[in-house]
Amino acid sequence: MADGTETESRKLLGRLREEMASEAAGQERLDRITHLIADSIRAEVCSIYLFRDEETLELCATEGLSPEAVHKTRMRMGEGLVGRVAKSGKIVNTPDAPSAKGFRYMPETGEERFSSFLGVPIQRLGEKLGVLVVQSRNAREYSADEVYALEVVAMVLAEMAELGAFVGEGAALSPRHQQPVQFTGGPAQEGSAEGHVWLHEPRVVVTNPIADDPHREQERLTEAVEELRVGVDKMLEISKNGDKEQLQVLEAYRMFANSKGWMRRMEEDIALGLSAEAAVEKEQSQARARMSQVSDPYLRERLADLDDLSNRLLRILTGQGQTNSADLPPDPILVARNIGPGDLLEYGRSLKGIVLEEGSVGSHATIVARALAIPLVVHVGRITTEALNGDHILVDGDQGTVQLRPEDTVVSAFRDKVAMQAKAQERYASIRETPTVTRDGERINLVMNAGLMADLPSLNNSGAEGVGLFRTELQFLIRNKMPKRSELVTQYQRVLDAADKKRVVFRTLDIGSDKVLPYMKHIEEPNPALGWRAIRVGLDKRGVMRMQLQALIRAANGRPLTVMFPFVAQAEEYYEARWEVNKTIDREKRLGHALPESIEVGAMLETPSLAFAPQKFFDEVDFISIGGNDLKQFFFAADRENELVRRRYDSLNVSFLTFIERIVERCNISDTPLSFCGEDAGRPVEALCLAAMGIRTLSMRPASIGPVKSVLLRADLQAVRKIISDARHRGEQSVRPAVMEWLRSQG
């Protein structure tokens, strides 16, 4: 095949096209294809292995190996040369298979007669589907032309599998996008939702992978790329006065759009017989495969740019993916790789749930989802390649699970859970106005977290006694440029008006880490969570801090004002920020603006270091709010985005509760008000233990107030404190089992 590769490849693809059009069943079609490939490549063996589940490959068709081995020979990912190709996504080409790394002898196949081995991954846009293998008796390494031809054929096989060309009996030949699938991700916003899939970026399906007329396909590609280039140039022209980072992205787009190498590779694929769409997708698949193996963040971003550009080119070629909100189903569950806060706000409360392949529990998209009370699960791998628009889907934001195309029994159990939750909410409504006083007479203040005006109606609906944390960064994140001071004044006024004299704690701008302003130069940091963020940015960018403080003071307009600085790691940072507050008040007074009736300035304790600050700090700070999410990850040195470690550490760990108790004691010495803000404040058992440790204000999402209040009203904090103390003396790692047993005994 080294001679006249293009002609032979085109002949083979032409024969494959005929197979696609035939009425043959899936197994018969596979059998014919292995014969076609072996004949065209002049190999004695051609085998197709497909995944029957995420970890297991199955021999589904062969020409040259023992027919009895079909559907019986199976191997795990990484097992043998076939498993090695599947796991790595890389080609294995060896003249001496038995001596190659990872070789495993499969006696039932009769492959011991064949020395040479060429294995090519069958994959589509990063999704692994199987492995295409050719073998020969002679010890020879397959030529570059033969390898390239097999890559093209593997790509067509992936498209055929996507289109359902190989449906038959058994798990490996089951129809794609029709079977029930359960995914496990990370819970980012609690709640349950049932609905139908709405893909934020609809998948383009290539229905014509093989070209009838290569010359016409070359013309179509040229025309589409030219349209793409014009579009990128227009975006650059519109954005030429915008921020530098956005311009850098668009410049990268233009570089790729004008890349001769990118164009040449796609033209070569078309010359071998692929359609324009298939050639683009082949390049895109290879870019995604490279992206999964690159650790350098800059290179990953550039490969992601190429991936996005390929999607744009595919939409131009096919006309697919042009949808709008008018097409939304009545119960949409948004499915996306990732999404920005602006796009999410455009969907608004129409969404019933959100599922993201990427995302994070602290991202601004998550903050918006929480503000809108929309169940959200993040880190759900493969969901965008498996889901189709309109698929039935169940989202459990409490457990972090997603059921796609669920069976009836799963749907029934899910609906029973939702019904039980609805009954519980009715019960919580009956205690909405009841003060939170425990059985032993301790008064607990339950307040809510907020970040959008959409949150404020929950102040009355949930029974919250105020806003313990208002996130001010969302007004900065959803814009393409820095908001004006006057715009912030209006926003903060509306918040205070809606609160109707209830206390609102405004947290100053908390950016950095996973919350990056689109118009601020992004600095690559090896560990952003421990880097330039929150108050560190504010103290380095004092103009922004002063502008926000001015807006808050003017919005108060004679009313009480409460301001809190995030991520204070040492007392000096608080003192510097407090000095800026005093300086701003003096300036506003000179300008003749109304000053707040009173002003409280507090600090968020999110790093263990601040708990050991001098007692003078606790004497002088107006209040402290424990930021439980960050404090917990730093206390345990466990990244809360890392599923491998974050679940290992319990909030009811004796060490952590002892640390919380120490903070309470230091605040009590100075009579400094203390609150706890974070996910654990909204979990009834955790909230109960925090209250038993001495915390009297808990700030949580509005929907959690009812369940937490219900538990606290029936609790004796002294009894719970004794249970915690006894568990500590027994040397137990977590108090959770003992507290849960006590709760069960209380009915």
By annotation, the residues acting in catalysis are 364, 677
- DSSP letters, 362-376, are TSHHHHHHHHTT--E
DSSP strands (E only) in 23-73: 45-53, 56-63
- Within 10 A of 491 (CB to CB), how many other CB atoms are there? 17
Q: 353, 334 in Cβ contact below 8 A?
A: yes
Q: What are phi and psi of 369, to 5 degrees?
A: -60, -40
Residue that the structure tokens 């131009």 belong to: 316
Q: Could you give the count of Cα atoms lying within 13 Å of 252 in the half-sphere of its Cβ?
A: 18
Q: 117, 141 in Cβ contact below 8 A?
A: no
Alpha-carbon 305 to chain mean position: 18
- Within 10 A of 284 (CB to CB), how many other CB atoms are there? 22
Residue that the structure tokens 């159990």 belong to: 413
Alpha-carbon dihedral sign for residues 614, 616, 618, 623: negative
- Residue 734 tokens, joined: 């977590």
CA distance 727 to 734: 8
- DSSP H or E stretch at residue 476: helix 474-477
- Residue 354 tokens, joined: 């959100």
Q: What are phi and psi of 387, to 5 degrees?
A: -85, 150
- DSSP H or E stretch at residue 207: none
- Residue 614 tokens, joined: 């001098």
Residue that the structure tokens 């108090």 belong to: 735
CA distance 661 to 420: 35
CA distance 105 to 59: 14
**Residue of 528, 480, 488, 509 lying closest to 340 (CA atoms):** 480
Q: 685, 743 in Cβ contact below 8 A?
A: yes
Cβ partners under 8 Å of residue 721, min gap 6: 692, 693
The 376-378 sheet, strands edge to edge: 181-184, 401-404, 392-396, 192-199, 332-336, 353-356, 376-378, 186-189
Helical H segments across 207-323, by residue range:
214-238, 244-257, 260-271, 276-293, 297-318
Q: 610, 603 in Cβ contact below 8 A?
A: yes
Helix, strand counts (H, E) of the chain = 27, 22
DSSP strands (E only) in 650-695: 674-677
Cβ partners under 8 Å of residue 669, min gap 6: 615, 618
Q: Could you give the count of Cα atoms lying within 13 Å of 308 in the half-sphere of its Cβ?
A: 14
Using alpha carbons, list the distances in angstroms from residue 399 to 307, 396, 635: 32, 6, 24
Residue 210 DSSP code: B
Q: Is 134 left (phi over 0), alpha (psi -120 to 50) or beta?
A: beta
Burial of 525 (0-12, 13-18, 19+ CB in 10 A): middle
